Amino acid sequence: MGIEFAKGHGTQNDFVVLADAEGKLELTDDRVRALCDRNRGLGADGVLRVVRSEHVADAPEGTKAEWFMDYRNADGSIAEMCGNGVRVFANYLVQAKLAEAGSFLVGTRAGDKPVVVHEDGSVTVDMGPARIVGESTATVSGRAFHGIAVDVGNPHLVCVTDVEIADLDLTVPPGHDPVMFPHGVNVEFISQLSESELRMRVHERGVGETRSCGTGTVAAVAAVLHRSGRAGGELLVNIPGGQVRVSIGEETSTLTGPAVLVAEGTLSDSWWLGG
Ligand SMILES: N[C@@H](CCC[C@H](N)C(=O)O)C(=O)O
């Protein structure tokens, strides 16, 4: 019978989208790793399972969204939220005629996220508050970087630096404080280009270096504003995979950027069963 999938990306942070309305798929860690493998699977930074919220055992209490984004990192781990993934997910719902373009809610483990799917396929997501939760240090190639810890539903450590970020070796996970981040952390390195524009590289928990991280861009803007004593503002963030716009207000934050559906197809049963 095969299993329907789509492949998409948001600023080149790429995902396999699995249609599983009734929550019947057995999405094991091994299967996620195989799907995300760029040699033996489809290749992606993560998996977005499209499932009705009522079939998700660990959906937060009070979830109102009809559709839930069950997000997995490429290593099989579960994360609370994915800012690029939620844009791709929203666009998928519209293309698959599971939602109408315009405004609707997407369920996530970090709560329901209001999204607006624009006519050009770009998506604005109300990401909720980006909370500054402390300070810590990340280590790259033996060098320590001061970081601001930000909670965007998932954990981030944002390091604003004068060092040329293109030169950092992010093939190895940056060192971090395991007491402050017992479940790991996404680490962002930021160059401030101007009052209104940043450049960012990121090492994602459960994935490695990616070409973009939506929650990371929100954390980055929150940290930069916090450093300069500003309560809110709007900045453009340039990542290797493109550009997004982040707005931080007193109560919430928004992320706007592209969401591209690349392909759709069917996974063979034999591949799915063999992993
Ligand atoms: N790429 C995502 C973040 C995905 C989850 C992250 N790796 C984690 O474990 O918290 C984004 O666009 O936000």
Residue 121: closest CA among 146, 155, 87: 87
What pLDDT score was predicted for residue 52? 98
Which 8-state DSSP code applies to residue 228? T
- For 106-171, give the DSSP string: EB-TT--EEEEE-TTS-EEEE----EEEEEEEEEETTEEEEEEEEESSSEEEEEE-SS-GGG---S
Cβ neighbours of residue 229 under 8 Å, at least 6 residues apart?
Answer: none
Q: Is 253 in the pocket of ligand 1 (CB under 6 A)?
A: no
- How many CB atoms are located within 10 Å of the residue 266 CB? 10
Q: Which helix (H) or strand (E) holds 209?
A: strand 208-210
| CATH code of residue 208 | 3.10.310.10
Distance (Å) from CA 185 to ligand 1 centroid: 10
Distance (Å) from CA 89 to ligand 1 centroid: 14
> Residue length, the chain?
275
Out of 86, 89, 186, mutate this one to test ligand 1's pocket (max ligand atoms within 8 Å of CB): namely 186
Residue 20 and residue 6 in contact, taking contact as beta carbons nearer than 8 Å? no
Q: How many CA within 13 A on the CB side of residue 263? A: 10
Residue 218: closest CA among 258, 178, 256, 161: 256
Q: Are residues 60 and 17 in the same domain?
A: yes
Distance (Å) from CA 1 to ligand 1 centroid: 31
Q: Are residues 104 and 141 in the same domain?
A: no
Q: Are residues 140 and 62 in the same domain?
A: no
Q: Are residues 77 and 119 in the same domain?
A: yes
Q: Catalytic residues, which ones? A: 82, 213
Q: Are residues 144 and 204 in the same domain?
A: yes
Task: Name beta bridge partners: 221.
Answer: none
Q: Are residues 184 and 265 in the same domain?
A: no
Task: Name beta bridge partners: 66.
Answer: none
Residues at the binding site are 13, 73, 83-84, 154, 186, 204-205, 214-215
Asked if this assembly's ipTM is beyond 0.95, the reply is yes
Residues at the binding site for substrate are 13, 73, 83-84, 154, 186, 204-205, 214-215
Share of the chain above pLDDT 70, in %: 100
Q: Span 130-143, mean pLDDT?
A: 98
Q: Are residues 78 and 147 in the same domain?
A: no
Q: Are residues 107 and 176 in the same domain?
A: no
Q: Structure pTM?
A: 0.97
Q: Are residues 121 and 36 in the same domain?
A: yes
Q: Is 257 in the pocket of ligand 1 (CB under 6 A)?
A: no
Give the three-state DSSP class for 12: coil
Domain, as residue range, for 118: 3-125+259-274
Number of domains forming the structure of the chain: 2
What pLDDT score was predicted for residue 41? 96
Q: Are residues 166 and 234 in the same domain?
A: yes
Q: Which atom of ligand 1 is nearest to the CA of 210?
A: 1
Q: pLDDT band for position 220 (50/70/90)? A: very high
Q: Are residues 150 and 232 in the same domain?
A: yes
Give the C-alpha separation, 176 to 193, whole Å: 26
The number of angstroms, rounded, from the C-alpha of 146 to the middle of its chain's C-alpha atoms is 23
Q: pLDDT band for position 257 (50/70/90)? A: very high
Residues 138-152 have pLDDT tens digits of 999 999 999 999 999
Which 8-state DSSP code applies to residue 78? B
Distance (Å) from CA 204 to ligand 1 centroid: 6
Residues 15-68 have pLDDT tens digits of 999 999 999 999 999 999 999 999 999 999 999 999 999 999 999 999 999 999
Q: Are residues 97 and 188 in the same domain?
A: no
* Maximum separation of any 2 CA atoms in the chain, in Å: 57
End-to-end CA gap in the chain: 16
